[in-house]
Structure 1
Amino acid sequence: MKRRLFAGFGSATSQLVTLIFLLQLLLTIVLLGYVQWAADQQLHREQRTYVAELRDTLSEIYVQDGPARLATAIEARVGTGGWSNGAVLLTAADGTPIAGNLRAWPGIMPVGVSWQEIDLYRKDAPHPERIGLSTTRLAGGERLLTGWVLDDGLRLRRSVEGAMLAALFLAVPIALASAMLLGRVLSRRLGAISGTTVAVAGGDLTRRVPRDGSGDAFDELARQVNAMLDRVETLVSELRLVTDSLAHDLRSPLTRVQSRLEQASAAVGDGGAGGTALAAIGDAQAELGALLRILSTALQISRAEAGIGTEQLADVAIADLLGDIADLYGPVAEDSGFALAVEVPADLHASLHRELVGQALANLVENALRHAVGGRRIVLSGARAGEGVALAVADDGPGIPADLRDEARRRFVRLDAARSEAGSGLGLALVDAVARLHGGHLDLADAGPGLRATLVLPARAR
């Protein structure tokens, strides 16, 4: 389940998911911080407003009714518990308390302060409290102190902080889940494009990127990629058509020329000038035969790349297939100084095109006979590879350097730069085309020493 959940996450997608998660987390922290700051500012404004309104109300009573009436009003309010969160003190000019719920004027508190927070004891309070205070001097010299106990605000602030912290912890998994979900969506859309390009690179030019019709950036990218693939498929099809037509058109006149040469060879005598002419005719026949084989192989590759032949797939006993190849090439290998061996389980079967796979394996054996200079042994082997099969030809010759193995698969490429050996450079190209026709691949590896060429074919050809 975990593997499926993270399937398709490459480094770029992982980085994107991480970036989205961090951005969401940062946005959440900033938003929660702003909410807390705004709540603190609002609470602070309300507290200062209350203290200012209380100061103005008491000052108005003093102006209208005098200090005695103000003292009576304060004591009446304190006595009934009307200022449960308030702090009030009226003193004489010398600081002697007249009325209020504070025992004495705070020594560090000057007169004329609009707002200051200090710790004070109110009457009947068991412990000091944090109080926001405002002080003013009345017209008769009396001093008036009004304030608001901030402890309730602090408790509210702590409650808000706890709620914010809980919201942050809740936001972390939500942000992570949403980032992963977005990453999965992006990975799926990009995976569709990647899967199409892989299929096209494997030779399936009919594949196209699926579109959802939304018109978003991915849908537009899919449209453009599909347009490009349509153009590529058209060009490749035209190129194949020209190649196949040229090969077909050349085979007929070449075959007629070879037939004429055979007739001329039969009519020319063996002695004197006739022997020289006969030798020349023989050389021309050999060259024509090589050219016809090149054309036939090129046609086989084109047909395999076009998918022609998948309708002829059948269940094949691998031991019989490899045995037939060993019987065919055994005498030739022995004459060349090689021992040709077969290693395959008797019950190994696979669904494949017997003629094409046989031709591919024969090409690999011929390559080993031709290029495994100094070798002594060639091994034909078959084994189970997952649900498919792996058919290999290994020799103990010099092999192919790792940096040239991809180059060796291409058409008409010969690693013998001087071209001093016979060959057309189509052998491995045909093997690779046959492998891709079956939905598999050709693997070239070091046999230690020598080269191991392996046809890896799936259980069912695509």
Structure 2
Amino acid sequence: MARSVLSLRNARTRLVLASMVLSTLLTAAVLALVYVTANRTIAGETRSVVTAELTGLADEYERRGMLGLLTAIERRLGNAAERDALYLLTDPDGLVLAGNMLRWPPEIEPGSGWVELDVIKTASNEAVPISAASIRLRTGERLLVGRDASARQQFDRVLFRSVFLALIAAFALSLLTGWLLTRLVFSRLKDIARTADDIVSGDLSRRIPLRGSGDEFDQVAGTLNEMLDRIEELVSNLRTTSNSIAHDLRSPLSRLRQRVEALSIPDRPEPEREADAIRALGEVDHLLRVLAQLTEISRAEAGLGREQFEQVDLGRLAADVVELYEPVAADQGVELSLTGTAPPIPGHRPLLSQALSNLLENALRYAPEGTGITVELGEQDGHARLSVRDMGPGVPASDLGRLDQPFVTLDPARGSRNSGLGLALVAAIARMHGGSFTARNADPGLEVTLNLSKS
């Protein structure tokens, strides 16, 4: 009993039973409709033929009298057996005048309409089921016309047996179909559950296998795999960021501790104490900037701020940011230029401005004096494109893939003040806008490109 209850709690068992019951009920309804329709059609045809014959004989009686009616009945009796036809004409007292029945059935009142009953045929002297109609003639005689219903009843039994066997076959087929269907569904669900268990156990590289059918299961599996790729990327970034925070913040914190300890030494000259205080404040400001940038990256990676999306004219936004940095570039002997156009996109205007500002600051950091920095807008593969190129030395090819990672600083000389979070924030903003971050050596210089979704 316990095993039975457990099996009924199993989703596969419930689905099989539900499929079986629904399929069986539907098949039973269709077969019942066929059975009833077939019976009604045959009965209707029989009634139409009998009614037509009864009407014809009555007309014959009206035209030619009793002699004509007797002649018509005798003529029809010649092939009555082939048609399972029954005829009976009696006088008012029940004396048989013509026909192939022994006597008038006492159950039938002439003119009472359509009846079905058993009567005795003259040829076989056996009781047979009939379907008949009757009338009383003008001079009192009684006329009955019918059809032997034995064949129809036999057909009913055969039809009923066929329907019953078809219902059994439908039951078995629905059971098999339900089992195969649930086997297919639950085999795919088992793949998902197995992958989820492995991921819960810590193996974030596991993915749901695709069967190459292109069906809805493969589409769902593909979407889930993309989600798992993104989760693995975020977890990897989180680990990298955590390790980087522990490593990269140790130096400024150590320096800050040294400055504070120096401030606590008594009898130090006031100028030295002021210098240490200024350096300590500088370290605090640096830490605050790092934490602010980390917060922005986390918010962008989590998609926070999407509710503030609006239609952003990238051309206008780029022109404003370039105009803002032109004085800084001019002081360094670098020329800024803006080319191309891009369609408006739904986006977070302040974050997009922050991303372009970070790209320009990074380019200005490495652009040699007397060169230029180009900001280019464009459109490609359904995305708006925003790129910034400088004419600097570029970066080693092995480091191109690391530029969007937090705390990656390729210039050790600037490591004390460059947190390596600027491009990481740019990449996070690009992903927030359904796009991507790519970097390549343009020979000369470095070109960083953001592809942003237009929808």
Give TM-score, length-normalised by structure 1. Answer: 0.49
Give TM-score, length-normalised by structure 2. Answer: 0.49
